[in-house]
């Protein structure tokens, strides 16, 4: 049964999309048998622009999350393999902006994504499903939180105001949990992003975030790295861009921490990425 993780923060530009794409890619690198689905629930469609197969950039005939949430398609029809083996994408589309009021006032306002996933076989096909949320507390975040068993909250270390207003996000998670039948959505972790420890702001914010959330903060902080922007320009993940980039090592470590926190049993054989960027298979111990 897939573990569903919503990557969310109502603040913009904190690294949600970067985290979904590269954690997804990081997870599939842990085992050749790992299957990860990433869902773009943001009308901005940045995750889609990053991962959608380049040769099909006209999106011709492509079913997206907009049709799925609008009830016009099943989620299976929207799944696209990415250029990374084991990593699939449910793309978004700018149309989702226009559709938001209909979804908000319809049956799928809260349960839309959950129902779409439950009606399909995807929960049995994937080990992890990661959901990219838009930067607001609206309908799509509600849908993601209801569908997810866990949330990861990226917080940027390069912004003095990164923790301001975080209570609104906690309230949102709680509100959805009150409504949620069965198991509640848990916080899997806070992820420090855009962290340049040479700066005072990063030192101050890292201390503040670790003080505020203790062990819930991932040990790995994602360092600031210009390779992320280069990777996006080329429709690549950081692992495809440069295996030696700090971002590749950081998101690989985040994937390992997720596996550790969830006590997830890796399907063998494990694929280990070595420091120098070469890969080798080792048997799972
Ligand atoms: N660790 C990092 N170092 C340097 N740049 C980064 C890092 N993480 C993300 N970025 C860059 O910051 C920008 C915003 O990142 P991203 O799109 O992941 O944020 P977001 O939270 O999804 O934004 P939005 O709220 O608009 O959806 C992108 O250009 C991305 O390449
Ligand atoms: Mg985004």
In total, how many domains does the chain have? Answer: 1
Atom of ligand 1 lying closest to residue 194 CA: 1
| pLDDT per residue as tens digits for the range 154-202 | 999 999 999 999 999 999 999 999 999 889 999 999 999 999 999 999 9
Choice from 6, 11, 17, 236 to test ligand 1 binding pocket (greatest atom count within 8 A of CB): 17
Residue nearest ligand 1's atom 13 by CA: 13
pLDDT along the chain (285 residues), means of 10: 97 98 98 96 97 87 95 96 97 93 90 96 97 97 98 98 96 96 95 98 98 98 98 97 98 98 84 47 38
- Cα 18 to ligand 1 centre (Å): 6
Q: What is the pLDDT of residues 133-150, one digit of tens each?
A: 999 999 999 999 999 999
- The predicted pLDDT at position 56 comes to 84
Specify the residue with its C-alpha closest to ligand 1, atom 31.
229
Q: Separation of 156 CA from ligand 2 center, angstroms? A: 13
Task: Please give the pLDDT value at position 271.
Answer: 60
Domain CATH number, residue 235: 3.40.50.300
**CA–centroid distance, residue 224 to ligand 1 (Å):** 10
Can you give the residue range of the structural domain that contains 141?
A: 3-282
One DSSP character per residue, the chain reads: --EEEEE--SSTTSSHHHHHHHHHHHHHTTBTT--EEEEE--TT-HHHHHHS-GGGTT-TT---HHHHHTTSS-GGGG-EE-SSTTEEEE---THHHHHHHHHHHSTHHHHHHHHHHHTSSHHHH-SEEEEE--SSSSHHHHHHHHH-SEEEEEEETT-TTTTTTHHHHHHHHHHHHHH--SSPPEEEEEEEESB-TTSHHHHHHHHHHHHHHGGGB-S---B--THHHHHHHTT--HHHH-TTSHHHHHHHHHHHHHHHHTT--PPSSEEEEPTTS-EEEE---
**CA 1 to ligand 1 center in whole angstroms:** 30
pLDDT of residue 269: 56
Indicate which ligand has the atom closest to the C-alpha of 232. Answer: 1
């Amino acid at each position: 049964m897939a573990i569903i993780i919503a990557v969310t923060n109502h603040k913009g530009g904190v690294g949600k999309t970067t985290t979904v794409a590269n954690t997804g890619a990081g997870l599939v690198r842990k085992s050749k048998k790992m299957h990860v689905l990433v869902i773009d629930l943001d009308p901005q469609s940045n995750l889609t622009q990053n991962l959608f197969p380049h040769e099909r950039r006209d999106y011709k005939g492509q079913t997206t999350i907009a049709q799925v949430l609008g009830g016009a398609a099943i989620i299976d029809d929207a799944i696209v393999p990415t250029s990374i083996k084991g990593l699939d994408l449910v793309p978004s589309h700018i149309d989702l902006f226009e559709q938001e009021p209909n979804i908000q006032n319809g049956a799928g306002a809260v349960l839309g994504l959950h129902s779409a996933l439950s009606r399909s076989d995807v929960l049995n096909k994937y080990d992890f499903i990661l959901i990219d949320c838009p930067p607001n507390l609206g309908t799509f975040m509600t849908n993601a939180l209801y569908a997810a068993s866990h949330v990861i909250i990226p917080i940027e270390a390069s912004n003095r105001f990164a923790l301001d207003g975080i209570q609104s996000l906690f309230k949102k998670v709680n509100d959805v949990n009150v409504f949620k039948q069965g198991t509640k959505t848990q916080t899997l972790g806070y992820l420090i992003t855009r962290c340049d420890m040479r700066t005072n702001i990063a030192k101050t914010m890292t201390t503040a975030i670790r003080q505020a959330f203790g062990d819930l903060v991932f040990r790995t902080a994602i360092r600031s790295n210009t390779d992320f922007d280069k990777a996006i320009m080329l429709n690549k993940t950081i692992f495809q861009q440069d295996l030696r980039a700090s971002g590749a090592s950081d998101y690989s470590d985040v994937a390992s921490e997720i596996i550790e926190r969830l006590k997830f049993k890796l399907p063998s054989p494990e694929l280990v990425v070595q420091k120098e960027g070469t890969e080798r298979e080792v048997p799972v111990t």
